[in-house]
């Protein structure tokens, strides 16, 4: 079946609401408006206001309400419109949801799902173009997932609903209109995925950078360089074994991360490789990240700030010719 990334998420939400009466959706504009990205269009009429709850413009309050509902036995899916708004609820996510099982000695779990759009590329300027997934991936007690394909957009939500602890789902907004044939969407929340096998270099990436990495790999293939593309899919816990296995096959690595380079997830991946398989590398690892500036509004400047296919190609060429 061919569907878009947006349709895949909507299908997952509908299935969750239909199959489990404990599940409800809450967030800004999810009801009458149908969601900021049309994820819940028609859901209010289909499931009613008890299951599809429009909230005030107060992330701190409604994320906290979702956490409380999860502790009370429900299965809330909380939609935060964009990742920058999650900063208004970071105390609830990091100081409450992530820590409750530990601080209660295992007496309580918080099975809440928090979904949000992330990423740049839409000319929304500095305050609405964040990539802060790594901030949350730093925190024990949270599971952080980043579906980059239509199949994962469809399959990761039901897998997340089976988790006993908080799951954060980051959906890159530039992926919503992507479409592909989806036959098998079953997946777990543990393993990275090899999206393109290769022998000469590993391109490690996730989320909205995956299409760029795949396009770069095709361009490199035309030049005689066979690049493997690894989609991390889950940022916490990282599938360090899959990362190491890929680098041991190719002996060269480029990590592509739309976050800023300083303190980036790309840096964490490379640090792990240095610890686990330093002597398998035939060249120094390289990172392709967003430039260390607030994301510009002007389209040509925004494009220049973000990782590009050309930058990935050049980085792989450099590690292969080192």
CA distance 86 to 88: 5
- What phi-psi label fits residue 271: left (phi over 0), alpha (psi between -120 and 50 degrees) or beta? alpha
CA distance 192 to 206: 9
Per the annotation, the verdict on 128 as an active-site residue is yes
Sign of CA dihedral 256, 258, 262, 267: negative
Q: Are 288 and 255 in contact (CB under 8 A)?
A: yes
Residue 295 is given by DSSP the state P
Length of the chain: 322
Q: Which of 7, 59, 79, 268 is catalytic?
A: 59
Both tokens assigned to 27: 């967030």
Q: Which of 7, 128, 130, 172 is catalytic?
A: 128
CA distance 171 to 152: 11
Active site residues: 59, 128
């Amino acid at each position: 079946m061919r569907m878009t990334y947006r349709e895949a998420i909507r299908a997952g939400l509908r299935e969750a609401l239909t199959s489990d009466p404990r599940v409800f959706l809450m967030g800004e504009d999810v009801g009458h408006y149908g969601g900021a990205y049309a994820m819940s269009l028609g859901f209010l009429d289909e499931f009613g206001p008890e299951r599809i709850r429009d909230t005030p413009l107060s992330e701190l309050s409604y994320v906290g309400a979702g956490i409380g509902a999860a502790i009370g036995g429900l299965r809330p899916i909380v939609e935060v419109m964009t990742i920058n708004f999650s900063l208004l609820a970071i105390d609830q996510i990091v100081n409450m949801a992530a820590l409750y099982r530990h601080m209660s000695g295992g007496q309580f779990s918080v099975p809440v799902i928090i979904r949000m759009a992330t990423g740049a590329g839409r000319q929304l300027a500095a305050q609405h173009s964040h990539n802060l997934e790594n901030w949350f991936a730093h925190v024990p007690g949270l599971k952080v997932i980043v579906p980059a394909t239509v199949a994962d957009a469809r399959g990761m939500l039901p897998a997340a609903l089976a988790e006993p602890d908080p799951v954060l789902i980051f959906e890159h907004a530039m992926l919503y209109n992507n479409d592909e044939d989806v036959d098998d969407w079953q997946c777990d929340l543990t393993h990275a995925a090899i999206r393109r096998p290769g022998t000469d270099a590993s391109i490690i990436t996730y989320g909205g950078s995956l299409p760029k990495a795949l396009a770069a790999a095709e361009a490199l293939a035309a030049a005689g360089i066979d690049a493997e593309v690894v989609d991390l899919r889950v940022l916490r816990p990282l599938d360090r074994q899959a990362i190491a296995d890929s680098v041991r096959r190719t002996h060269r690595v480029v990590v592509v991360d739309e976050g800023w380079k300083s303190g980036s997830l790309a840096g964490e991946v490379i640090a792990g490789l240095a610890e686990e398989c330093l002597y398998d590398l035939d060249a120094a690892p390289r990172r392709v990240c967003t430039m260390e500036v607030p994301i510009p509004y002007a389209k040509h400047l925004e494009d220049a700030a973000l990782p590009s296919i050309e930058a990935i190609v050049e980085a792989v060429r450099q590690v292969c010719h080192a």
